[in-house]
Amino acid sequence: MRLVFCFSGKTNKGPVRDIVDDYKKRISRYKSVDIIEAKSLRLQQRSGIHVILSPEGEYMDSKAFAGFINQYLMQGIKHLFFYTGGPTGLPEEIVTHADKTVSLSKMTFNHQLIRAMLFEQVYRGFTIINNEPYHK
């Protein structure tokens, strides 16, 4: 499975970029990672599962999120797409075609900050799946 993170806008230099780069490297030990940053985000046409992040989505703790990722690993899904919107949200095309809507919190976060939070949770998920001590 390839993980594809689709972000509205760019992650500039600075702390968020450093965190994203660090977790991308960590996650890459488990699965391939692509990052798509686009001014006008579009629905990816490759086969896979499309997940959007929204405060209105399903709330999961870290273990449930790990289970969510693991179910697609076990099914042999080719791509797991994660979409985060910018200040104006996500395009309607992406929202209507999403297979799943997930919430990392009921709070609304800056679109840059949520990237770091998503990467950390995906990494945490892989450590849970692999019974590694990071989650403790």
Q: Nearest Cα to 83, choosing from 72, 70, 71, 93?
A: 93
Name the residue with tokens 């900050």: 113
The superfamily CATH assigns to domain 2-102+110-131 is: SPOUT methyltransferase, trefoil knot domain (3.40.1280.10)
Tokens describing residue 97? 């075609």
- What are the residue ranges spanned by the domains of the chain? 2-102+110-131
CA angle centred on 60, ends 111 and 131, rounded to 5° = 105
Say what the pLDDT of residue 119 is. 97
pLDDT at 135: 66
What pLDDT, in 10s, does the model give residues 92-119?
999 999 999 999 998 888 888 999 999 9
Q: What is the pLDDT of residue 106?
A: 87
Are 102 and 66 in contact, with CB atoms under 8 Å apart?
no
Tokens of 108: 């609304």
Q: Summarize pLDDT for 15-25 with one digit per residue, the tens.
A: 999 999 999 99
As a whole number of angstroms, the distance between CA 122 and CA 73 comes to: 13
The closest alpha carbon to 8, from 81, 79, 88, belongs to 88
pLDDT attached to residue 136: 67
pLDDT band at 72 (very low <50, low <70, confident <90, very high): very high
Q: Are 81 and 6 in contact (CB under 8 A)?
A: yes
pLDDT tens digit sequence for 43-52: 999 999 999 9
pLDDT band, residue 75 (cuts 50/70/90) = very high
Say which residue the tokens 């990237």 belong to: 115
